[in-house]
């Protein structure tokens, strides 16, 4: 309210509703901490040691959720776990390559044991991107992209289903990409997996709604993560991308994490089957 009262567009006289004093106007309404909290919930976030996944783990844990995450590298995972413990966040982790069906099953068995057979939140974040022209993509590249991005997201959702149902419902969030909407050079296979994940979101949202399990996707634009460090070194590329984004900048992992957290909070309880784009306006900008 202070910004409104000091606005240059207002006259010197401020007209208040009847029976409202200036002191009442300036009072802050208390935040409903139950509505905007994840205290008492449990979450699994895949690929949580770097980039967007790291930011999501931190965001959910700060809101009170007990989070389990996974990564392929024991060293990377342990470094993150030490940091989170130092911040008094309730985060645990285990090593897992989500492209492997057996490792996915082992991961969910760990989660089931740790959280007493119940899970409130599943964030399918882990993924890979192989930057190659379509004619250079090998069958092995294709298989790895499918198994890591699409197959793992579907399989982990299947494995998590009984744990989510045991809680009386929950939230599944897929991390996809705007490449599921628009074409990008050298990302034909990656984009195909993300487009499929967007459609998987809609189908699961309808099929599992009867169990109060909501399914949504967050589709980031160009986000500054280790996955694209080599592109960030190209000043011309960065300048070109900044120009394409109406907000004039590339995204940060925290920009995505905040939206993911919202989809896990009580205020989002009627949001289901949606793909929410977080790209600063890039794909709606016609001035490319």
**Known active-site residue 190:** yes
Rg of the Cα trace of the chain?
Answer: 21
Dihedral sign (CA 88, 93, 79, 51)? negative
Q: Name the active-site residue from 54, 161, 190, 270.
A: 190
Half-sphere exposure of 7 (CA within 13 A, CB side): 9
Q: 3-state SS of the chain? A: CHHHHCCCCCCCCCCCCCCCCHHHHHCCCCCCCCCCCCCCCEEEEECCCCHHHHHHHHHHHHCCCEEEEEECCHHHHHHHHHHHHHCCCCEEEEECCCCCHHHHHHHHHHHHHHCCCCCCEEEECCCCCCCCCHHHCCHHHHHHHHHHHHHHHHHHHHHHHHHHHHCCCEEEEEECCHHHCCCCCCCHHHHHHHHHHHHHHHHHHHHCHHHCEEEEEEEECCECCHHHHHHHCCHHHHHHHHHHCCCCCCECHHHHHHHHHHHHCHHHCCCCCCEEEECCCHHHCCCC
Query: Which active-site residues does the annotation give?
Result: 190
């Amino acid at each position: 309210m202070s910004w409104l009262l000091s606005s240059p567009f207002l006259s010197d006289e401020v007209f208040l509703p009847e029976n409202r004093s200036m002191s009442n106007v300036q009072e802050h309404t208390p935040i409903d901490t139950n509505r905007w909290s994840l205290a008492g919930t449990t979450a699994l976030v895949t690929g949580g040691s770097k980039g967007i996944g790291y930011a999501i783990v931190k965001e959910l844990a700060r809101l009170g959720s007990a989070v389990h995450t996974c990564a392929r590298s024991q060293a990377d995972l342990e470094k993150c776990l030490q940091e989170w413990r130092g911040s008094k966040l309730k985060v645990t982790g285990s090593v897992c390559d989500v492209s492997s069906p057996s490792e996915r099953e082992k991961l969910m068995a760990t989660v089931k044991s740790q959280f007493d057979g119940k899970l409130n939140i599943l964030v399918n974040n882990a993924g890979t991107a192989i930057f190659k022209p379509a004619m250079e993509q090998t069958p092995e590249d294709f298989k790895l992209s499918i198994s890591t991005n699409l197959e793992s997201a579907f399989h982990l959702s299947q494995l998590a289903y009984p744990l989510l149902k045991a809680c009386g419902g929950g939230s599944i969030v897929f991390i996809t990409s705007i490449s599921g909407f628009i074409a990008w050079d050298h990302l034909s296979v990656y984009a195909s997996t993300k487009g499929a994940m967007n459609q998987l979101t809609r189908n699961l949202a309808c099929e599992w709604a009867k169990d109060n399990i909501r399914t949504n996707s967050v589709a980031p634009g160009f986000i500054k993560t280790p996955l694209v460090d080599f592109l960030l070194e190209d000043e011309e590329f960065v300048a070109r991308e900044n120009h394409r984004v109406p907000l004039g900048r590339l995204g940060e992992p925290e920009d995505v994490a905040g939206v993911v957290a919202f989809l896990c909070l009580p205020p989002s309880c009627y949001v289901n089957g949606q793909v929410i784009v977080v790209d600063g306006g890039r794909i709606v900008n016609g001035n490319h």
